[in-house]
Structure 1
């Protein structure tokens, strides 16, 4: 307890009350939590301002709509990993390269699953890693299928920083690459996040047809010959479509 922020601990104490109570007055919160009324009043006010709590006309507090959003995101991410993992394992075993799964999180892509290859030379990527949406196939495939207005806003407001030898730094070039990715149904990157690497990615869609993630194979450039790359493109696209179908997506693959 000594190393924990007391305000955070007290806030969680308040929020935990709503796991067993759907509605509480300030007086009930004070009684159940043991927090002094002045502190509880200030804390509840802050939680309400942040959308974590809501107050009705009768003076009762309940969990805010923000928790529904959090719950939806957590559910979506857990379900995607659960659906995707066996297909990722099959793809990894077939191509013997690392397989990654990413999701959009704000203006970044976050890696939520990674399966390594048994090659002695491999890429270093770990679950939880973040990368900009504009660079690297597994990130850029998400940007390619975002709503056009949202995509344009992102490009206009984002500084395209060089992260490796071939990171795209020009907005016009990026737009052309994104357009081509939508036509082809996949993205490919060479030395954009790390030098001497290749990544091939395809989009994953939800039941509403919205882009929710990207699936990729990645490895050192020396293992990606022209013929092998063409074969892996088809395998990645088909695996991503299979995952999308299990999530309720009904369109046909390109």
Structure 2
């Protein structure tokens, strides 16, 4: 009996998974897509509708029920991005042997919420809780890159671009170009923007809605970021950012 119940649960999940790719489905479409017999589909849909997992529209097609909104909100509220990101950050730090930072937006600033240091004796002495303006530094800029266009432009118009290091971008048109390139490439690089003689490479982290929720970066002294090493660092970073995003429910293109 228990085994049969488990089979029913598995089949029900297979049915609900159809709605990941399809917003609305008829009974016949569910049968065609799942390969489950029509009598079983009728039975499962009736049960799922009764529990508010599915809802039926006026045209007879079904969509996910409002109960999923409640579950989704609870999951989103309870996710601790630091805890989720830490295993992947640790693996990245060990691979590249450079500091790895996790940053989120806080108003017009970015704030470091996690950092893993390198074992190299020469290192950057940033710390959790450090803040930086959204326009300066790779990790801050990757966040700014993915802010909605109108809000991003309003920020640029209202913000004075003051220098921190000799590489800080203080020309707004050049900054706009950098932001556009960051969105196109999926990463950005900064040289001596927050501190002189440093390099940072950053990539975005997305949640289940496709919204950017954080930035992750590799950072260190410029002397260790040779030109020929950069592509390898970018590859490791992008793989890690995608891994964390998928842990948060992101289903973007691989």
TM-score by length of 1: 0.69
CA distance in 2, matches of 1:196, 1:168: 15
CA distance in 1, matches of 2:253, 2:143: 18
CA distance in 1, matches of 2:151, 2:212: 13
The residue that corresponds to 2:90 in the other structure is 89
Q: CA deviation at 1:228?
A: 1.1
Q: Is 1:179–2:185 an aligned residue pair?
A: no
CA distance in 1, matches of 2:170, 2:138: 15
Q: CA deviation at 1:252?
A: 1.8
CA distance in 2, matches of 1:248, 1:195: 37
- How many equivalent residue pairs? 181
The residue that corresponds to 2:214 in the other structure is 213
SS at match of 1:104: strand
The CA deviation string for residues 18-37 of structure 1, in whole angstroms up to 9 with x for no partner, is xxxxxxxxxxxxxxxxxxxx
The residue that corresponds to 2:246 in the other structure is 245
SS at match of 2:80: helix
CA distance in 1, matches of 2:157, 2:136: 15
Q: CA RMSD, aligned part only?
A: 1.6
Q: Is 1:108–2:106 an aligned residue pair?
A: no
CA distance in 2, matches of 1:75, 1:113: 19
The residue that corresponds to 1:37 in the other structure is none
Q: CA deviation at 1:105?
A: 0.5
CA distance in 1, matches of 2:77, 2:104: 13
CA distance in 2, matches of 1:151, 1:141: 12
The residue that corresponds to 1:79 in the other structure is 80
Q: Unmatched 5+ residue regions in structure 2?
A: 1-72
CA distance in 2, matches of 1:156, 1:234: 34
TM-score by length of 2: 0.69
SS at match of 1:195: coil
The residue that corresponds to 1:196 in the other structure is 197
Q: Is 1:146–2:147 an aligned residue pair?
A: yes
Q: Unmatched 5+ residue regions in structure 1?
A: 1-70
The residue that corresponds to 1:160 in the other structure is 161
Q: CA deviation at 1:75?
A: 4.4
CA distance in 2, matches of 1:252, 1:82: 24
The residue that corresponds to 1:5 in the other structure is none
CA distance in 2, matches of 1:120, 1:177: 32
CA distance in 2, matches of 1:101, 1:95: 16
CA distance in 2, matches of 1:229, 1:111: 23
CA distance in 1, matches of 2:183, 2:211: 13
The residue that corresponds to 2:29 in the other structure is none
